[in-house]
């Protein structure tokens, strides 16, 4: 009999490989063949091939993350949390051997929600929304950057170089502008589609693209795209639930007919009716703005600034921009000056944000922010959208403040801009051009500083994802000596409960130069515990954290002065702690070493030797001998 398995935990460092080791050891005892695919910190390893899946008699999924279960359609599959793979591998293998594991329906075709023999831990609603939003933003970001750069370069040939009716017309600039424009037109559909895909998998992706095109066609902007993404995703989930009792023979029909047709009908019509009134609203806002053109510069600047930064290319922004272009035709160059300033600020603000707060942004964000200096300078506001979409409730007001400051200053300085686009390229024809640039820079810097402060706050509280890149070069680690020194072993550490123990371990790590921030490391430990207890069996716990406070990869071995409750797999109190410290973004050989350490915990002889050791030298030698 051939069994295959897939393991994975949220951090992909310890539990993933402990489950692999436990399953392999149990299969070896029973004389069975098993291949275990791991979804760890360094990605998928020992990947299952199509042949492996086709030849398998059963599948064990021991994971707390998506391991693409749909590929196992038609196989006997037992799907449990990763801790079950560690604690009870014999029962999981028995379910396959005895053929009591249920047969998974045609998930690879229909995209049905995976069915499990065990109840999986539920993901919080807030975290689910965040994950879906980030899925959309991460897929949208390259489109915004690539399309924006193409358009910006086309402007270098002249503001109207892509217009065949202009004297500035340039064929190459036309190609660049057209390609960039097509790329930018995909921004909202891609955002919508991949938000929906994160919620409802492939069926959600299909409906999401269509709903996203409706949002784009009706000019709802990226905010409309976000609404459309969640609408499409949850409509598909609703359809999957409503049609769950149809005979299995109709699974193919659901995938290629029922989900697409009903999904488009329900989500498409809903999105259309939500976005259709935008034209009437636009006209109303334009009339309102036209009436404000001769009012107090402070009021006009605040209104224009807030509108331009509110949805960046959406209906509110468009109302301000179209009003400005209409007034240009009437010879009013004053109104457009404030509109242009307000539109230029958001992308520049993101550039200043990553410049001022470069320690708190990941490499992808920093790259996008620096590119936004170019996009903003050429009046391409959309470059700021990926930053705003991550946390619109906080970032949009910050950008609106900066845009309002720039617009107010522009109007107070009586700047006039006779061109509807181009950014700083049109400076030669701007009245009081230096003052205009100064107003824009002031607004951008204010927003950039506030964004950097907000990012620092998030970073400090460890609420950002582990993809934030560090500014240090990851160390090369290949042996246990690289992560465990004798001084990293502490005996009789105090603590009356788990939280106190973790705080004391973080404090000791700070003293030993392993970490730079005790509080950030402690919060990192707590964040991992919230995803699932790190308490194993036989009195062992393996807390671990990956964050920017970690200076070097390390393993600390700690014995406790008294046992504490750790919500362990076997319900027993914890007496020994193996704490792992991983630098953010430093995935390297050290992950393999730490994973090898974790695998030891499924071997009773190792645990017995560890618990009987009474001095640091014995403990140190035990790890050196067992791991190497």
Residue-wise pLDDT for 102-128, tens only, equals: 888 754 433 444 443 333 434 456 667
At 474, is the pLDDT very low, low, confident or very high (cuts 50, 70, 90)?
A: very low
Look at residue 117 and tell me if it is in a domain: no
Contacts of 614 (CB under 8 A, 6+ apart): none
Look at residue 215 and tell me if it is in a domain: yes
Look at residue 583 and tell me if it is in a domain: yes
255 and 178: one domain? yes
CA quadruple 508, 600, 120, 574: dihedral sign: negative
At 83, is the pLDDT very low, low, confident or very high (cuts 50, 70, 90)?
A: confident
User: Looking at 2-57, which runs of residues are DSSP E strands?
Assistant: 2-8, 33-40, 43-45
For residue 126, the model assigns a pLDDT of: 66
Q: Which two tokens stand for residue 343?
A: 């539109």
Give the residue-averaged pLDDT of 145-169: 82
| In contact, 236 and 205? CB cutoff 8 Å | no
445 and 484: one domain? no
Question: The domain that contains 6 carries what CATH number?
Answer: 3.40.50.2300
- In this structure, the chain runs to a length of 628
542 and 421: one domain? no
Query: What does the pLDDT look like over 339-375, one tens digit per residue?
Result: 999 999 999 999 999 999 988 887 778 888 898 998 8
Look at residue 405 and tell me if it is in a domain: yes
Task: State the total domains in the chain.
Answer: 4
- Residue 556: which domain range? 480-627
221 and 330: one domain? no
Assess whether pLDDT exceeds 60 at residue 412: yes
Query: What does the pLDDT look like over 530-565, one tens digit per residue?
Result: 877 888 888 999 898 888 888 888 889 999 999 999
59 and 150: one domain? no
147 and 231: one domain? yes
Q: What span, in angstroms and rounded, lies between the C-alpha atoms of 414 and 358? A: 35
Catalytic annotation, pick one of 9, 319, 327, 480:
9
243 and 201: one domain? yes
174 and 28: one domain? no
For residue 477, the model assigns a pLDDT of: 46
pTM: 0.49
Q: What span, in angstroms and rounded, lies between the C-alpha atoms of 10 and 64? A: 6
Boundary-marking domain end, from 221, 252, 275:
275
262 and 187: one domain? yes
Contacts of 441 (CB under 8 A, 6+ apart): 348
Question: The domain that contains 580 carries what CATH number?
Answer: 3.40.930.10
Look at residue 14 and tell me if it is in a domain: yes
Look at residue 239 and tell me if it is in a domain: yes
390 and 422: one domain? yes
Look at residue 467 and tell me if it is in a domain: no
Residue 9 a catalytic site member = yes
Boundary-marking domain end, from 460, 491, 507:
460
330 and 415: one domain? yes
Q: Which residue has the tokens 């049109």?
A: 426
Tell me the C-alpha to C-alpha distance, in Å, between residue 412 and each of 18, 183, 300, 370, 426.
Answer: 66, 37, 10, 30, 20
Query: What does the pLDDT look like over 259-301, one tens digit per residue?
Result: 899 999 999 999 998 887 766 766 677 777 767 767 788 888 8
CB atoms near residue 181 (< 10 Å): 14
Boundary-marking domain end, from 83, 110, 137:
110
580 and 442: one domain? no
């Amino acid at each position: 009999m051939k069994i295959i398995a897939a393991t994975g935990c949220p951090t992909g460092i310890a539990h993933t490989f402990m489950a692999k080791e436990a399953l392999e050891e149990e299969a070896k005892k029973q004389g069975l063949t098993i291949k275990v695919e791991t979804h760890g910190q360094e990605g998928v390893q020992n990947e299952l091939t199509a042949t492996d899946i086709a030849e398998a008699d059963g599948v064990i999924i021991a994971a707390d993350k998506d391991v693409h279960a749909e590929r196992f359609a038609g196989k006997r599959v037992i799907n449990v949390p990763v801790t079950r793979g560690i604690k009870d591998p014999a029962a999981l293998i028995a379910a396959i051997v005895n053929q009591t594991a249920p047969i998974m329906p045609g998930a690879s075709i229909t995209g049905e929600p995976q069915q499990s023999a065990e109840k999986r831990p539920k993901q919080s609603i807030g975290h689910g929304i965040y994950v879906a939003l980030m899925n959309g933003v991460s897929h949208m970001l390259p489109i915004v950057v690539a399309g924006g750069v193409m358009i910006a370069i086309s402007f270098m040939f002249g503001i109207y170089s892509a217009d065949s009716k202009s004297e500035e017309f340039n064929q190459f600039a036309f190609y660049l502008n057209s390609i960039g424009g097509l790329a930018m037109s995909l921004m909202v559909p891609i955002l919508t589609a991949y938000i929906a895909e994160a919620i409802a998998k492939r069926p959600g992706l299909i409906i999401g693209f269509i709903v996203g095109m409706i949002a784009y066609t009706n000019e709802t902007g990226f905010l409309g795209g976000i609404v459309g993404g969640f609408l499409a995703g949850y409509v598909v989930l609703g359809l999957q639930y409503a049609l769950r009792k149809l005979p299995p023979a109709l699974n193919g029909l659901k995938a290629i007919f029922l989900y697409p047709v009903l999904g488009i009908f329900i989500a498409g019509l809903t999105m259309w009716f939500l976005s259709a009134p935008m034209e009437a609203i636009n006209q109303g806002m334009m009339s309102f703005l036209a009436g404000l053109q001769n009012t107090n510069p402070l009021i006009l600047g605040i209104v224009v600034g807030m509108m331009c930064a509110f949805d960046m290319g959406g209906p509110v922004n468009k109302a301000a921009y179209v009003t400005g272009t209409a007034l240009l035709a009437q010879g009013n160059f004053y109104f457009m000056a404030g509109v242009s300033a307000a539109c230029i600020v958001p992308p520049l603000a993101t550039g200043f944000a990553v410049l001022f707060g470069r320690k708190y942004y990941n490499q992808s964000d920093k790259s996008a922010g620096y590119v936004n200096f170019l996009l903003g300078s050429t009046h391409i506001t959309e470059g700021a959208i990926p930053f705003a979409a991550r946390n619109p409730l906080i970032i949009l007001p910050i950008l609106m403040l900066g845009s309002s400051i720039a617009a107010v200053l522009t109007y107070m300085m009586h700047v006039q801009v006779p061109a509807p686009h181009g950014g700083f390229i049109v400076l030669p024809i701007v009245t009081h051009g230096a003052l205009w640039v100064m107003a824009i820079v002031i607004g951008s810097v204010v927003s950039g500083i506030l964004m950097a402060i907000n990012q620092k706050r998030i970073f400090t509280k460890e609420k950002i994802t582990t993809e934030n890149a560090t500014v240090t070069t990851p160390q090369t680690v290949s042996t246990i000596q690289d992560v465990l020194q004798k001084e990293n072993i502490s005996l009789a550490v105090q603590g009356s409960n788990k939280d106190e123990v973790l705080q004391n371990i973080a404090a000791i790590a700070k003293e030993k130069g392993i970490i730079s921030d005790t509080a950030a490391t402690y919060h990192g430990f707590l964040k991992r515990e919230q995803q699932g207890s790190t308490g194993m069996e036989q009195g062992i716990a393996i807390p671990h954290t990956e964050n920017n406070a970690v200076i070097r990869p390390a393993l600390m071995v700690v014995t406790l002065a008294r046992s504490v409750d750790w919500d362990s797999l076997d319900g027993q109190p914890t007496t020994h702690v193996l704490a792992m410290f991983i630098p953010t973004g430093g995935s390297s050989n050290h992950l393999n070493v730490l994973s090898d350490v974790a695998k030891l915990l499924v071997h009773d002889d190792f645990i017995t030797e560890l618990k009987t050791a009474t001095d640091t030298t014995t403990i140190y030698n035990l790890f050196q001998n067992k791991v190497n």
